Structure 1
Amino acid sequence: MSRRPAVQAACLLSAALILGLAACRREAAPRAAGSAAPSATTRAATFPPTPPLQDVAEHDPRYVIGISYPAVANRYPGLAAELKRYADAARAELMQAVAGLGGKKPAAPYDLTLSFVEVASTPRVVAIDADGSTYTGGAHGNPLVACFVWLPQRNELLTATRLVPDRAAWATLAAYIRDQLHTALSQRVDADGLSGEQRTDVLKDGGRMIDQGTGPDPQNFSQFEPLLAPDGRITALRFVFPPYQVGPYADGRQTVDVPDDVLLPHVAPAYRDLFAGG
């Protein structure tokens, strides 16, 4: 399926528009993250000096690239390195597709649009979301969804496996998250007013995707953003699922908030003081 010439013009504008969009979004600090005080046994990671992150806008008749970064990322070299690594990988994938054109011009320019957006910034926690898409032909682009939770005092990226190191605990957390997703699916189907047979089919297909995407593997829950109380402590983690993981593309990004009283029994001791109930 090819796009109209108007889409090509829109793509050429995307690199410029993304810079303004990101500037607006920075004004509203989105989500939150967590950090723990360093201990005597914690060895702080060190990162070599890196050039400051700079927004990217480039295009030619075959492709358009627009990447924007929040100013806060440049305060933390380790965080900046993580964002740059993600952006470079996305760009490399796009350019590989461009190279595959063999010098030919596509019906519509290939496109990478990527905004890194500040979600939270406190002395203990900095959270950044990556939001964007790549287009290399077809009916629609491929979504880019990622969350980065940086702990300045520990100088580390908080990951699902660091936060909850016991793999057995993920069975409990996965079951909680799965139940929430099934409930949300049922509510959406009810709101659509589908007939009995249609409702059954949608619930069956959607339920299967949820079950497949929420197996008790921490990799299925690698994207999350903390929700903060006024004092900066975490009251819940919002787990983020990109399109296709727990639902069709049309359902978009889905999230589940897991409160700290559900999480805390499974959180590693070094990170418990990040939570309101810790």
Structure 2
Amino acid sequence: MNNVVNRRALRASALALAVGLVLVAGCKRDADSTAPAPAEGTAATQPGTIETPAATSAPVELRDVIETSPQAVVGISYPADIARYPGLAKALSDYAGSARGELQQAVDGLGNDKPTMPYELSLSFEKVLETPQLVVVSADGSRYTGGAHGEPLVARFVWLPEQQQMLTADKLVADAKGWKAVSDYVADQLRERVATRLSSEDMDPGQLQESLRSASRMIADGTEPSADNFRQFQPLTGADGKISAVRFVFPPYQVGPYSDGTQTVDVPASVLAPHVGAPYAGLFAAG
């Protein structure tokens, strides 16, 4: 028992060290870097969409990663017991592998040079929901390969244990009419949020109107009614285990500037349920 406790303590300490190194590097970048940030209004690069097989019997071993070198720092952590869902575990492994591959490509491009600040990958997978019908894992982190700040990495994985498959946005909502309803609801919420925030700031009327127009353009572009714009989501469940709302997640640059960070909007089941694909309607709360 003491050995198990010691191993867990060692793992936690090592992860804390890796995260600390990443945070120190990030703070130094913010203070010292003069390189331009990515253009606002464009989404940061994300690892490619992971196509998960409907079922897999092959076990996938996920191990936390802590690596440091003069050129790069890598820290990746996984939920402790996620390997019990092999298909989901493979999707997480593939996502992390894609993120590491892009970091390594940038490191290889350095040749023998040493960057002013080490390149880095910080990625944390967290299990945010687990029921007999749904397992949801969030992935949040960043990848830094030069510039003023890192590229945000934001993903959500919704696994259906009974069907042994991933629930993706194109399966969740069945048609264009459904995405229009989602788009309208989400855009209204985001615009109201921006208007409330800007109205509390000390701006002259002309500046306020221009800021509102600029924000509205970004929101309209990032919430066009298509599955691709809403591919990151996580169900929220009530006491009965049924989905009461779906939280759509938008990485920086999709619906606002980098400074706004990752944004979310919860769409209630009453808005979504009429448009959910027939095989998944039973997951939602009635009414």
Q: Does 1:264 align with 2:273?
A: yes
- Once the two structures are superposed, the pairs formed by residues 174-189 of structure 1 within 5 Å of their partners are 174-189=183-198
- Aligned match of 1:141: 150
Q: In 1, Cα distance between the equivalents of 2:177 and 2:81?
A: 36
In structure 1, runs of 5+ residues without a counterpart are 1-11, 19-43
2:253 to 235, 240, 244: 244
Residue 218 of structure 2 aligns with which residue?
Answer: 209
Displacement of 1:13 in angstroms is 6.9
Per-residue deviation, 1:234? 0.8
Q: Does 1:199 align with 2:208?
A: yes
The secondary structure found in structure 1 opposite 2:279 is helix
Tell me the distance in 1 between the aligned counterparts of 2:133 and 2:181: 28
Name the TM-score, length of structure 1 as normaliser.
0.83
Query: Is 1:15 the counterpart of 2:18 in the alignment?
Result: yes
**Count of residues paired in the alignment:** 242
**Contact 2:54 2:166 (C-alpha < 8 Å) held by counterparts:** no
Matched residue, 1:220: 229
Structure 2 counterpart of 1:131, from 123, 140, 150: 140
AA paired with 2:149? H
What secondary structure sits across from 1:192 in the alignment? Answer: coil
C-alpha contact (below 8 Å) 1:174/1:214 kept by paired residues: yes
Structure 2 length normalisation: TM-score?
0.81
Counterpart code for 2:206: E
Tell me which residue corresponds to 1:152. Answer: 161
Whole-angstrom distance in 1 between the partners of 2:245 and 2:72: 40
Pick from 109, 115, 121: which aligns with 1:106?
115
Which residue of 1 is the match for residue 66 of structure 2?
57
Quickly say closer, same or farther: Cα 1:48–1:137, change in 2 above 3 A: same
Q: Following the alignment from structure 2 to structure 1, what is the Cα–Cα distance between the partners of residues 66 and 120? A: 11
Instruction: Indicate which of 161, 166, 172 corresponds to 1:163.
Output: 172
Gaps of 5+ in 2: 1-14, 22-52
CA displacement at 1:192 relative to structure 2: 2.3
> How far is the alpha carbon of 1:48 from its aligned partner?
4.2
SS of alignment partner, residue 49 of structure 1: coil
Between the two structures, name the one with larger relative contact order (CA 8 Å, sep ≥ 6). 1
Q: 2: CA distance between counterparts of 1:178 and 1:48?
A: 41
Q: CA RMSD in A?
A: 1.7
Identify if the C-alpha distance between structure 1 residues 16 and 143 changes in structure 2 by more than 3 Å, giving closer, same or farther. Answer: closer
Q: In the alignment, is the contact (CA less than 8 A) between 1:14 and 1:113 conserved in 2?
A: no
Is 1:276 aligned to 2:285, yes or no?
yes
Give the distance between the partners of 2:99 and 2:16, measured in 1 at CA: 19
Give the secondary-structure state (helix, strand or coil) at the position aligned to 2:253.
coil
Question: What letter is aligned with 2:142?
Answer: S
